[in-house]
Amino acid sequence: QVQLVQSGAEVKKPGSSVKVSCKASGGTFSSYAISWVRQAPGQGLEWMGRIIPILGIANYAQKFQGRVTITADKSTSTAYMELSSLRSEDTAVYYCATGATSADAFDIWGQGTMVTVSS
């Protein structure tokens, strides 16, 4: 069964960008769709977008269109989420997730990456 391991916590200035990685191990990376979900402190879950590595096709939530880029490197079984023009409201835990049974019902989650946006 695939496991997802994310990069470490980040502190960023407003207006900058952040790139979070999600490395898959123990499974066939390219055949899974990897989604990114974020959770601001004390708030609910918010889907940002996803990529199907084998196709290299990414789709994004309307809210993040133009500000988020999701990519995948099949050679290293790693997915990336880059969020630009950061503002304080982007302070959140960012998760990558996928589903073994159904790509979009997430039974496999990364451990989460805390991104803090502060001047």
Partner 1 sequence: DIQMTQSPSTLSASVGDRVTITCRASQSISSWLAWYQQKPGKAPKLLIYKASSLESGVPSRFSGSGSGTEFTLTISSLQPDDFATYYCQQYNSYARLTFGGGTKVEIK
The residues of the shown chain that bind partner 1, judged by CB under 8 A, are 35, 37, 44-47, 49-50, 59, 61-62, 95, 97, 99, 101-102, 104-107, 109-112
Shortest spacing between CB 119 and partner 1, in angstroms: 26
Burial of 71 from C-beta contacts in 10 A (0-12 / 13-18 / 19+): middle
CB of 100 to partner 1, least distance (A): 10
List Cα–Cα distances, 79 to 23, 63, 98, 105, in angstroms. Answer: 6, 20, 11, 18
Task: Name which of 3 and 118 has its Cβ closer to partner 1.
Answer: 3
C-alpha–C-alpha distance, residues 116 and 60, integer Å: 22
Amino acid (one-letter) located at 35: S
Question: Please, which residue, 73 or 107, has the CB nearer to partner 1?
Answer: 107
Q: Which is nearer to partner 1, 16 or 25 (CB)?
A: 25
Least separation, in Å, of the C-beta of 44 and partner 1?
Answer: 5
Nearer to partner 1, 30 or 47 (CB): 47
Nearest distance in Å: CB 8, partner 1:
16
Residue (of 23, 89, 103, 1) closest to 59 by Cα position:
103
- Give 74's DSSP letter: T
